[in-house]
């Protein structure tokens, strides 16, 4: 798909939008006295709106870590902001539709409902395989977005790189690959392909591998023609000053050893779970969690809750019947989990 074809997918009212701008956006020189934004002049560390300079620094730091041009990434208030913006940029309410795999991350369907967009689900295949032909077959002239979470939540598996490329090449709209858990996966990231495929958008987050869930910062990687529209549609000052400052500082931390520990613990916990007689299956994982099929999963969930261990009950999720989703914790937390499960044996 060409850049021109991608631009034709954008809603006409968005293309015609005159974005909100501040005096600080418009003026690029040094500023000594701020009398432009109706702020309280009494300094307390928070009386000024977030610095656009600091946001640019954080953006540059992430771009360097991900080896991309800063103009090809958008910083949002969690990945959920980017997901919601995608609906508002590309989808006309009551007219267009989006397609997604199922089961998957719930915010895609929530944002579709909020924006009055038809949401078409295609169930995953055997062993949670990617139904490429079915996803393409579900598309029509009004299909603007295709969401594929890889590694997928809650199934934990990553989809083959070549299958994702096939979707990008053949889907008639925008393909959104959500890589929230990519740092724990053996599959490569799709970020390196955003220049080659203008209709590809890759979502990542600082919440998982970087351990910054409390800061709520998500990233969208895409061609500049899409990122520029993100910047026009987003709310002014969408990320707070503290979030930017903490992110800039904490991004200097090397997460390699933490990721390696989580992966090693994932395999250790999976092996321990497979030994339990009431565990039917531990699904392969490319994420920082395990999906586990058990006998009487709700009883097991309540057993763990009674022992102050909370996991996620996915029993009522279509395709995930009788399953629990278990996040990998610290080694001592995983020891406690395993001990309590063995005690129930």
Q: What pLDDT, on a 0 to 100 scale, did the predictor assign at position 96?
A: 97
Q: What pLDDT, on a 0 to 100 scale, did the predictor assign at position 78?
A: 92
Query: Looking up tokens 């598309």, which residue turns up?
Result: 139
Q: What pLDDT, on a 0 to 100 scale, did the predictor assign at position 345?
A: 66
Alpha-carbon distance 46 to 317, whole Å? 43
Long-range contacts of the stretch 34-41 (C-beta < 8 A, 24+): none
The CATH T-level fold of domain 3-19+52-250 is: 3.40.640
H or E, element range at 258: helix 256-274
Terminal-residue alpha carbon distance, the chain: 55
What angle, 0 to 180 degrees and rounded to 10, lies between the N-to-C axes of helices 331-344 and 297-306? 120
Query: Looking up tokens 């002014």, which residue turns up?
Result: 236
Domains of the chain by residue range: 3-19+52-250, 256-344
Alpha-carbon distance 189 to 186, whole Å? 9
Domains 3-19+52-250 and 256-344 share a fold: no
Q: What pLDDT, on a 0 to 100 scale, did the predictor assign at position 214?
A: 92
pLDDT of the chain, 345 residues: tens digit per residue = 898 999 999 999 999 998 888 877 777 777 788 888 899 999 998 999 998 888 999 999 999 999 999 999 999 999 999 999 999 999 999 999 999 999 999 999 999 999 999 999 999 999 999 999 999 999 999 999 999 999 999 999 999 999 999 999 999 999 999 999 999 999 999 999 999 999 999 999 999 999 999 999 999 999 999 999 999 999 989 999 999 999 999 998 899 999 999 999 999 999 999 999 999 999 999 999 999 999 999 999 999 999 999 999 999 999 999 999 999 999 999 999 999 999 986
Q: Which CATH class is domain 256-344?
A: alpha beta
């Amino acid at each position: 798909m060409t850049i021109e074809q991608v631009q034709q997918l954008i809603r006409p009212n968005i293309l015609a939008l005159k974005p909100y701008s501040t005096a600080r956006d418009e003026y690029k020189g040094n500023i000594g006295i701020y009398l432009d934004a109706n702020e309280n002049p009494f300094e307390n560390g928070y009386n000024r709106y977030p610095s656009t300079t600091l946001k640019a620094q954080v953006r540059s730091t992430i771009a360097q870590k991900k080896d991309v041009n800063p103009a090809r990434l958008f910083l949002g208030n969690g990945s959920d902001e980017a997901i919601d913006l995608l609906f508002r940029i590309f989808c006309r309410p009551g007219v267009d539709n989006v397609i997604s795999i199922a089961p998957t991350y719930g915010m895609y369907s929530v944002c579709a409902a909020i924006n009055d967009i038809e949401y078409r689900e295609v169930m995953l295949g055997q062993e949670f395989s990617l139904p490429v032909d079915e996803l393409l077959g579900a598309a029509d002239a009004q299909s603007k977005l295709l969401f594929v979470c890889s590694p997928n939540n809650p199934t934990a598996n990553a989809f083959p790189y070549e299958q994702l490329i096939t979707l990008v090449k053949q889907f008639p709209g925008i393909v959104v690959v959500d890589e929230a858990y990519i740092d724990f996966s053996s599959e490569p990231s799709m970020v390196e392909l955003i220049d080659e495929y203008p209709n590809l958008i890759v979502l990542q987050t600082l919440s998982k591998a970087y351990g910054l869930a409390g800061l709520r910062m998500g990233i969208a990687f895409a061609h500049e023609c899409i990122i520029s529209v993100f910047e026009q549609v987003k709310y002014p000052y969408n990320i707070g000053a503290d979030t930017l400052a903490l992110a800039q500082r904490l991004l200097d931390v090397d997460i390699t050893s933490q990721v390696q520990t989580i992966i090693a613990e994932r395999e250790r916990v999976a092996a321990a779970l497979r030994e339990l007689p009431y565990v039917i299956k531990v699904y392969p994982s490319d994420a920082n969690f395990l999906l586990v099929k058990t006998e009487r999963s709700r009883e097991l969930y309540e057993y763990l809750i009674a022992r102050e261990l909370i996991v996620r009950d996915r029993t009522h999720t279509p395709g995930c019947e009788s399953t629990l989703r278990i996040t990998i914790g610290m080694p001592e937390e995983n020891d406690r989990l395993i001990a309590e499960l063995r005690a129930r044996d």
